[in-house]
Amino acid sequence: MQSLLLDFLKVTESAAVAAMPWVGSGDKIAADGAATNAMRENLNKMKMDSTIVIGEGEIDKAPMLYIGEKLGAGGTHKVDIAVDPIEGTTPTVNGQGNAITVIAAAPKGMLLHAPDMYMKKLSVGPKAKGKIDIDAPIEENIKAVAKANGKDVTELNVLIQDRPRHKDYIDRIRKMGVKVRLFNDGDVIYATATCIESLNVDMFLGIGGAPEGVLGAVAVGCLGGEMQARLLPRDDEEIRRCKEMGITNPEGVLYHGDLVRTDDCVFVATGITDNLIIDGIETQYNNYITHSILVSGREKQVRYVKSTYPVKQLTL
């Protein structure tokens, strides 16, 4: 997978650059369409035989980058891909922070094939790996993470999306004296942040999209951390969709090895707007300057890449 890393970087950079003219435009459909077109075009140039396992949705809802779509120019690499052409479409078109374009990949059969539905997620960095239990009360997990990280509970920082469904978690965590940092969009960014020590983030917790859960799990695993999850099907139809994708126990715990079944995986993201882990696109002298993060699961090493692209004029 490492041999494809720079090719995947071109994919995310091209999608971010394509989305850039739509920042602040208010047009979600145009922004997502531009990023999706660019991402698909460049994936099809890569020497691989790949399948989208996490994408824009099922074929009846997504004309491109749909779950099950085959991409690539052929070759010996058999690859499963998880993509989000724009993670943070709303902040993109509102000109706000926390927007990235992101891709994760692993050999065929190594990523969870999950439908677009809700998922509960809990992630931590390398020091607390093996110490969490998504079935345990949040108070027990807080104490376990504090001990693993060599901190008092009052020194911990927990990231949670600012949604009404998380109010009970927020109240219980703050009651322990823990600092809760709320965010609005982009849980792939915040799950990843738990594994970048300089950011001083100890835990990510919340209920969000299952596709973002798999993307986040690849990043967390590549960086030596751990994510646990549980799908939250709301009706019989969602249970049926899970079983069709090979998830025999849709409501069971998904340990990290269920989400990503190999260390031979890669995670690449390019910033569209500024966020916690990477800067957004800058405009300098009629050029776009992109900022990206690349992580290889085998190396457990982070690379930050800065690239220059000429600005192409676009009539909105």
263 is in an annotated binding site: no
DSSP bridge partners of 20? none
Strand, coil or helix: what is 248? coil
H-type alpha helices, 110-263 = 138-148, 167-175, 187-193, 210-222, 236-244, 256-259
Is 233 annotated for ligand binding? no
Q: Is 224 annotated as a binding residue?
A: no
277: Cα separation from own chain's centroid: 12
| Amino acid 61: pLDDT | 65
Q: Find out whether 89 is annotated in a ligand binding site.
A: yes
Strands (E), the chain: 49-54, 70-71, 78-87, 99-107, 118-124, 157-161, 179-183, 203-209, 226-231, 253-254, 266-273, 282-284, 287-296, 301-310
Q: Is 150 annotated as a binding residue?
A: no
Residue 230 assigned to a binding site: no
Pairing relationship of beta strands 118-124 and 99-107 according to DSSP bridges:
unpaired
State yes or no: 251 annotated in a binding site. no
Nearest to 281, CA basis, from 308, 314, 261: 308
Rounded CA gap, 77 and 54, in Å? 18
Question: According to the annotation, is 237 in a ligand binding site?
Answer: no
CA–CA gap between residue 301 and residue 295 (Å, rounded): 6
Position 94 scores a pLDDT of 96
Does the annotation list 72 as a binding residue? no
Q: Is 165 annotated as a binding residue?
A: yes
| Residue type (1 letter), 84 | D
Task: Quote the tokens at residue 1.
Answer: 């997978």
Confirm or deny that 135 is annotated as ligand binding.
no
Q: How many Å apart are CA 111 and CA 52, to the nearest integer? A: 10
CA atoms in the 13 A half-sphere facing the CB of 136: 13
Domain layout of the chain by residue ranges = 2-108+265-310, 118-259
Structure tokens at 218: 């690849």
**118-259 CATH pick, 3.90.1150.10, 3.30.2290.10, 3.40.190.90, 3.40.1390.30:** 3.40.190.90
CA Rg value for the chain: 19
Give the integer Cα–Cα distance in Å for 285 and 131: 49
Any known ligand binding at 133?
A: no
Predicted local confidence at residue 58, as pLDDT: 66
Strand partners, 301: 296
Q: Report the pLDDT value the prediction gives residue 314, as an integer from 0 to 100.
A: 45
Q: What per-residue confidence (pLDDT) applies to 59?
A: 60
Q: How many CB atoms lie within 10 A of CB 164?
A: 6
DSSP H or E stretch at residue 36: helix 28-43
Q: Which pLDDT belongs to residue 60?
A: 53
User: Is residue 271 a known part of a binding site?
Assistant: no
| Tens digit of pLDDT at every position of the chain (316 positions) | 888 999 999 999 999 999 999 999 999 999 999 999 999 999 999 999 999 998 876 665 667 888 889 999 988 899 999 999 999 999 999 999 999 999 999 999 999 987 788 999 999 999 999 999 999 999 999 999 999 999 999 999 999 999 999 999 999 999 999 999 999 988 899 999 999 999 999 999 999 988 899 999 999 999 999 999 999 999 988 898 888 888 888 889 999 999 999 999 999 999 999 999 999 999 988 899 999 999 999 888 889 999 999 887 544 4
Helix (H, G, I), strand (E, B) or coil at 309: strand
Distance of CA 222 to the CA centre of its chain: 12
Predicted pLDDT at 316: 40
| Residue 41 marked in a binding site | no
Architecture of domain 2-108+265-310: 2-Layer Sandwich (3.30)
Residue 118 annotated as part of some ligand binding site = yes
